[in-house]
Amino acid sequence: MHDVIIIGAGPCGLSAAIECRRLGLSAIIVEKHFIVHSIYRYPTHMQFFSTPELLEIGGIPFTSPHDKPYRHEALVYYRKAAELHQLDIAAYEEAVSIEKLEDGAFAVHTENRRGERKTRHGSAVIISTGYFDQPNWIGIPGEDLPKVTHYFGEAHPYTGMKVAIIGGSNSAVDAALELMRVGAEVDMVYRGDSISANIKPWVRPIFESMVDKGRIRLHLSSRVTEITPSYVTVTPADGEAPLRLENDFVLAMTGFRPDRRLVTDLGVIMDDEMDKPVFDPATMETNIQGVYVAGVIASGRNANEIFIETGRRHGALIAEHLASRRPARAGESR
């Protein structure tokens, strides 16, 4: 029996575990994949938008020779943070359901990668699941072809290939530049009349220069409406005739959304307008006593509403609330 079971070992889940232990609460993290899986899924050479100190958890300094750290540095940092705080992490163990018991405690039913089932018990549950398992599908013919992926790791496999990128965010721009550097022919298709206003300021001028030079072909106010094994169809919004582009691969950089099945199955009330759990922002507790949300799971339809910089603070709010409810022990005063 733990004081709290945390579901998800991303930065926000790790931070919650650290803050709970700091206040004397026993905590275990149940993680479907492995520690900071979401960061692992980032492109291999990705550079963060944030400075190192904004990614810190548990009072451990994040040292980096760069103003903005890279993905591989973050992986090392969060591994070290978990190790230094001696966090209890059950990796490769998926929480498949949560049951509230008659005494107010919770049973978290899990299954590991060998198919073995287990039930873990806790007085409270913090749900801190991420979103990389849930890509935003476009819903067009051919999106399920093997040539299509919603994930971009690195450019090397696409050397010399014809690649269409769907999207206009940082991930799409970063992928386009990396692909161009390995000699891929890049067509970038975006429904907006300009790329996202949130493109990293040190990247935007490089991207725009490559577009101006014809190294990247940018199709604005357009949509990919069909994908076949040999081409994609790009339809402009202004009613002009669709373009048929010869194509080898498609990167659908259309974003991701949190998986909220655990919270909805448990009976957590959802904000219908924003598609997000209803919770007290002062404590992160939902309408079900003892059930908390932390990190991106607390966001609405826009998964970018909550970043590591803000989500890492949820754990302290939750831990303080849990500690305030804990019965006073012998010799303690409240």
Residue 159's CATH number: 3.50.50.60
pLDDT at 71: 94
> Do residue 181 and residue 316 come from a single domain?
no
Model confidence band, residue 133 (pLDDT cutoffs 50, 70, 90): confident
Q: Which residue has the tokens 């309408």?
A: 287
- DSSP conformation class of 158: G
Q: Does the pLDDT of residue 329 top 80, yes or no?
A: no
Model confidence band, residue 37 (pLDDT cutoffs 50, 70, 90): very high
Is residue 212, in this structure, part of any structural domain at all? Answer: yes
- 281 compared with 198, residue with greater pLDDT: 281
Average pLDDT over residues 278-285: 94
> Do residue 36 and residue 109 come from a single domain?
yes
Is residue 207, in this structure, part of any structural domain at all? Answer: yes
Q: Does the pLDDT of residue 334 top 50, yes or no?
A: no
Domain count, the chain: 2
Is residue 105, in this structure, part of any structural domain at all? Answer: yes
Determine contact, residues 322/3, Cβ cutoff 8 Å.
yes
> Do residue 202 and residue 80 come from a single domain?
no
Give the model confidence (pLDDT) of 220-260 as tens digits. 999 999 999 999 999 999 888 999 999 999 999 998 877 78
> Do residue 238 and residue 301 come from a single domain?
no
Q: From CA 22, how far away is CA 4, in angstroms rounded? A: 13
Q: From CA 100, how far away is CA 122, in angstroms rounded? A: 10
DSSP conformation letters of 5-68: EEE--SHHHHHHHHHHHHTT--EEEE-SSSTTHHHHTS-TT-B-SS-GGGG--TT-----SSSS
Closest CA to 132 of 45, 42, 38: 38
Please report, for the chain, how many H helices and E strands are present, in that order: 8, 17
Domain boundary pick from 226, 252, 278: 252
Average pLDDT over residues 100-110: 95
Is residue 140, in this structure, part of any structural domain at all? Answer: no
Q: From CA 176, how far away is CA 152, in angstroms rounded? A: 10
Q: From CA 316, how far away is CA 23, in angstroms rounded? A: 10
> Do residue 213 and residue 310 come from a single domain?
no
> Do residue 91 and residue 126 come from a single domain?
yes
Q: Is the dihedral of CA 131, 133, 139, 140 positive or negative?
A: positive
Is residue 330, in this structure, part of any structural domain at all? Answer: no
> Do residue 36 and residue 182 come from a single domain?
no
pLDDT at 251: 97
DSSP conformation letters of 69-99: -BHHHHHHHHHHHHHHTT--EETTEEEEEEE
Is residue 65, in this structure, part of any structural domain at all? Answer: yes
> Do residue 172 and residue 319 come from a single domain?
no
> Do residue 124 and residue 270 come from a single domain?
yes
Domain boundary pick from 201, 220, 252: 252
Determine contact, residues 293/207, Cβ cutoff 8 Å.
no
Determine contact, residues 302/198, Cβ cutoff 8 Å.
no
> Do residue 17 and residue 128 come from a single domain?
yes
Q: From CA 247, how far away is CA 249, in angstroms rounded? A: 6
Residue type, 222: S
> Do residue 7 and residue 128 come from a single domain?
yes
Report the Cα–Cα distance between both ends of the chain, in Å, rounded.
Answer: 23
- DSSP conformation class of 328: P
pLDDT at 328: 54
Determine contact, residues 110/117, Cβ cutoff 8 Å.
yes
pLDDT at 230: 97
Is residue 163, in this structure, part of any structural domain at all? Answer: yes
> Do residue 193 and residue 103 come from a single domain?
no
Could you list the residue range(s) of the whole structural domain that residue 165 is in? Answer: 148-252
Average pLDDT of the chain? 91
Domain boundary pick from 252, 275, 310: 252
Is residue 305, in this structure, part of any structural domain at all? Answer: yes
Residue 298, CB half-sphere, CA atoms under 13 Å: how many? 27
Give the model confidence (pLDDT) of 176-221 as tens digits. 999 999 999 999 999 999 998 888 888 999 999 999 999 999 999 9
Q: Does the pLDDT of residue 84 top 50, yes or no?
A: yes
